[in-house]
Amino acid sequence: AKRIKLDEEHQVSASGGDDGPTLADVWRPNLHKLYELAVQDGSEIDVMTKCFAELRGDLPPPLSLREDFCGTYLLCRQWVGLGSTHTAFGLDNDQPTLDWGLEQAEATLDASERSRLSAACFDLGAADQ
What's the pLDDT tens digit per position in 31-85?
777 777 777 767 889 998 899 999 998 899 999 999 998 888 889 999 999 999 9
CA dihedral 40, 80, 99, 95 (to 10 degrees): -80
pTM of the full predicted structure? 0.73
In the Cβ-directed half-sphere of 79, how many Cα atoms lie within 13 Å?
26
Give 116: exposed, middle or buried? Use CB within 10 Å, 0-12, 13-18, 19+: buried
For residue 88, the model assigns a pLDDT of: 97
Q: How far apart are CA 118 and CA 50, in angstroms?
A: 24
Is the separation of the CB atoms in 105 and 74 below 8 Å? no
pLDDT band at 19 (very low <50, low <70, confident <90, very high): low
For residue 39, the model assigns a pLDDT of: 74
